[in-house]
A and B are shown apart, each in its own frame.
Chain A
Amino acid sequence: MTDPSIWGIMAQKGYSRRDFLQFCTYAAALSGLQSNAVAEVAQQFTTKPRPPVVWLHFQECTCCSESFIRASHPIVADVLLDTLSLDYTETLQAAAGHQAEACLHETMRDHHGDYILLVEGSVPMSADGVYCTIGGRSAEDILKEAAEGAAAIVAWGSCASNGCIQAARPNPTNATPIHKILNRPVINVPGCPPIADVMTGVVTHLLVYGRAPELDSRGRPRSFYGRRVHDTCYRRPYYDAGLFVASWDDENARRGYCLYKMGCRGPVTYNACGVTKWNEGTSFPIQSGHGCIGCSEAGFWDNGPFYQHLAAFPGFGIEATADKVGTVATVATAGALGAHAVWTNVRKHKAIKATIDESVNVTSDS
């Protein structure tokens, strides 16, 4: 018995063909496809059996799952959660304990080479992985086993993509992003959490084309992570004009000027927040008057404080920026040079005097 297609399951559930095509259009748009690709999406969703999906949870806070179930289009969530049916996800599945483990192994066995593996959370590598175990097995073990038969692997969120908060200094559990553990390509979808529509966009692309979307050098889908938040920010004109907010309660903040001086990480963060926005396109941090904290960038937690343009200088406490250290060094150097100048006149007095004495006296008539 082959599994029904996505359309087959939707039809069972009572969705009309119109609803389905609407969903296909939406899914195509989310994946960054052109409008003429809608037919292909509909074709794939009608004929292809739904791919099994395994969603693993390791060191994470479940914000990725929370984000995902709030995808803009209700059918998107419905399809991906009910219809697409996650075969294994600890947070959302009904089964628990041995039942859940059996379900996971059944999927991995029956669909070996076919299932999509979604991983939420980083993997602790120190102390043989005791910091995260499920059913008595370490996260590393589970991940490697599940990755072996996966058709595609997606790292959900900053934890799985770059370690996020638990990998922040001093990283006691040696939390490690999964692409550093697995010896095969991983689609990184960073963000804390990633934007729901970006997540569904990536999954849709995998379903429709059966392969990963175009990725950048850090394994992120180019269509969502190709530009900086800064480049698509509606406050960008204020940046170029040099109109900045200087404190949270000033007139410039009220006017909605650029939050660059308030530590906004938009210029150094690659994400689609300015375009896709959050919660059905309602808003994104900068639109709400708060700077970007760069949550989709590697090591963002260590590049704080968030409300300061320049990060703390390592080794000198969070108050010390490179500029404070540099200013002290400059003043100290200037002082040392002044002292050297005085000392030169003491130590080299004879040598200088001898040089002056060497000077030839030129008389006016000679």
Chain B
Amino acid sequence: MSITLTSPSYKRIYVWEIPVRLFHWLNAASLIVLMATGYLIGHPATLSHSAEAYQQYWFGNVRFIHFVAGYVFMLNLLIRFYWGLVGNRYARLRTFFPKTKAEIRELWEVLRVDIFEFDRTAHPTVGHNQLASLSYLILFVFSVFQIATGFGLYAAMSDGWVASLFGWVVPVLGGDGATRVWHHGAMWFFVLFTLVHIYIVAYHDYVEGRGTTSSMVGGWKFEREDVLDRKD
């Protein structure tokens, strides 16, 4: 049994730039607000109150918060798409699409090593690994879908031009009722995504010990020098 006597040296890599980190946390915050208020809009609590209607406005406020968070969510995503054109190599939009043979091989590799764990070793990557990238691509697709259906529904009650841009979505999906069902159903994707995402981040940090979690705060990840040499 060989025991490593010298610990490998690590290099610090600035992976996530400030716009990426800001996007991440603003996205997380707006998603949590949107899910909470959205769920309440679908399942409002029944308050038995002798109060007259004018004395409270809580449901109106919940809807208002949902609409504001929807704007934040959309603008934030637009800025992220922009940064995907001008940001560093880890922020680029093309990293979200597995294209080359090597990238597709890595996709299978991550499934083999990290998800099904056929392999007993760890398999670190510097930026997003290919499977993670794919999950974010799906997240973006669902985000755009939620923005389109959400603002489509909002168009009926808004004079704003932003909402009216999405007015066409409602007839395509078969009316407000059907659109509402789609919008509500797609919310569950974000619940599942959040669960899996948080778990997988914890998993990588736990198995690889390279600061995966804190990288989204400070931007830094760590990579073994020998691994970097092999890649470059």
A-side interface residues toward B, CB under 8 Å? 217-218, 228, 231, 237-244, 246, 250-252, 260-261, 265, 267-270, 294, 297-300, 303, 309-311, 313, 322-323, 325-326, 329-330, 333-334, 337, 340-341, 343-344, 347-348, 350-352, 354-355, 357-360
Contacts and interface: CB of A to CB of B under 8 A. Distances in A.
B97 interface: no
Interface in B157-175: 157, 167-168, 171, 174-175
B4 interface: yes
Contacts of B7: 358-360
B192 A330 contact: yes
Interface stretch (B21-29, B87-95, B116-124, B126-134): B116-124
Contact of A240 (B43, B53, B171, B181): B53
Given A237-B53, A241-B54, A303-B177, A348 B60 contact: no
B207 A354 contact: no
Contact of B208 (A228, A231, A267, A355): A355
Q: Chain B at the A interface: mostly helix, strand, loop or mixed?
A: helix
B167 A217 contact: yes
B168 A217 contact: yes
A231 B155 CA distance: 13
Given A237-B53, A243-B47, A351-B207, A343 B117 contact: yes
The 8 closest A-B pairs by CB, nearest first: A326-B188, A242-B59, A268-B176, A322-B185, A240-B60, A241-B53, A246-B46, A237-B53
Contacts of A360: 7
Nearest to A354: B4
13 contacts: A217-B167, A240-B57, A240-B59, A241-B53, A243-B56, A261-B43, A309-B43, A326-B191, A330-B188, A341-B199, A344-B207, A355-B207, A355-B209
Interface in B38-84: 42-49, 51, 53-60, 62
A283 to B, nearest CB: 21
B192 A337 contact: no
A303 B175 CA distance: 10
Most chain A beta carbons < 10 A, residue from B46, B167, B171, B203: B46
Given A303-B181, A310-B181, A267 B58 contact: no
A337 B199 contact: yes
Given A241-B53, A322-B181, A359-B7, A261 B46 contact: yes
A218 B171 contact: yes
B178 interface: yes
A91 B115 CA distance: 68
A190 to B, nearest CB: 10
Contacts of A352: 206-207
A299 B122 contact: no
A197 to B, nearest CB: 23
Given A333-B195, A347-B120, A348-B122, A322 B178 contact: no
Contacts of B44: 242, 244, 260-261
Contacts of A297: 175-177
Contacts of A268: 175-177, 179-180
Contact of B57 (A241, A322, A340): A241
B156 interface: yes
A340 B54 CA distance: 52
Most chain B beta carbons < 10 A, residue from A228, A268, A294, A341: A268
Interface in B1-25: 3-4, 7-8
Contact of B47 (A217, A242, A325): A242
B184 A310 contact: yes
A238 B53 contact: yes
Given A358-B4, A358-B7, A350 B208 contact: no
Nearest to A327: B188
B85 interface: no
Contacts of B217: none
A358 B188 contact: no
B227 interface: no
A156 B154 CA distance: 28
Contacts of A300: 175, 177
B196 interface: yes
Contacts of B59: 239-242
A326 B203 CA distance: 24
Contacts of A323: 42-43, 184, 188
